[in-house]
Amino acid sequence: MTTTSSTTGVRVVRTKAELREVLAGRGTVALVPTMGALHGGHESLMRLARPMADALVVSIFVNPTQFGPGEDYDAYPRTPDADLAVCEAAGVDVVWMPDVAEMYPDGPDASVMVDPGALGAVLEGAARPTHFRGVLTVVAKLFAAVRPDVAVFGEKDFQQLALIRRMVRDLGLEVRVEGHPIVREADGLAMSSRNVYLGAEQHEQALALSRALEAGVAASAEGVDAVLAAARTVLDAEPGVDTDYLVLTDPFLNPVDGSFAGDARLLVAARVGTTRLLDNHGLHVGREGA
């Protein structure tokens, strides 16, 4: 049975059959996939997507296959009432909230999975070996169910966005993938559902990530080594930050050497307390026009 929230005008559906019924005849469809615990960054994705299609769908599903052993699947924040309020404010038409059985009828362990290839084995993939297999699998399932004309993702998970674009290209999926720049809190911290895990002191420590990226961008005219050295200095000065990686790549996440010049992406992953955070920034390495 299709349900509507009692506190919002957003249509809430739980199954693929309900979803297809609700979307029938609505014209073009935009999709914003999420795992809930929605914040201003998610809302900005919805507002970007709203004029792109006749109907706007937001999916809310905490996907078990992208969490590794010992990660925070069970503890991941789930705030459905607040999420629906965010969706209504952003003009969402349909919220799809399937359960695990709907997405993985034979169970997550028995599902056919999407192999992310070599790009899925570096950076986040090196730290979380099964993560991107789960991400691409669930995104493929979401695309198959919603059949969107366009899907919008944030750039905070930049490697994820690159892999989704590659999956769409390599598998010939008929959906346009749009990226949205990172949305930050007033103090510069990249918005993330996991920020709720940070205490006040840890929040202050986590600001080292955005400060490091800013330092790298400020040094970009001096070349690759200067970018990495400037960013590393900021991270090393904050004892509360345990850096996993700090890398500079080209826009397609290919590694670069010290002679590289051109558009690039500076990415960092670090743990603050028990919370793992990601951030990144685009920049131009070298003196433009030189």
Q: How far is CA 206 from CA 235, 240, 274, in A?
A: 10, 8, 12
Q: Which residues pair with 4 in a beta bridge?
A: 11
Alpha-carbon gap, residue 38 to 94, rounded angstroms: 15
Strand order in the sheet with 241-249: 241-249, 262-272, 275-285
Instruction: Give residue for tokens 């007033």.
Output: 186
DSSP state of 194: G
**Other CB atoms closer than 10 Å to residue 10's CB: what's the count?**
22
Residues near 284 by beta carbon (within 8 Å), at least 6 away in sequence: 220, 262, 263, 264
The separation between the first and the last C-alpha atoms of the chain, rounded to the nearest angstrom, is 64
DSSP state of 220: G
Alpha-carbon gap, residue 129 to 267, rounded angstroms: 18
Question: Catalytic residue among 42, 131, 180, 281, which?
Answer: 42
- Residue 42 among the catalytic residues: yes
Alpha-carbon gap, residue 181 to 50, rounded angstroms: 16
DSSP state of 221: G
Q: How far is CA 135 from CA 19, 58, 100, 248, in A?
A: 21, 16, 14, 23
Structure tokens at 191: 């918005």
Q: How far is CA 40 from CA 36, 46, 84, 154, in A?
A: 12, 10, 13, 12
Active site residues: 42
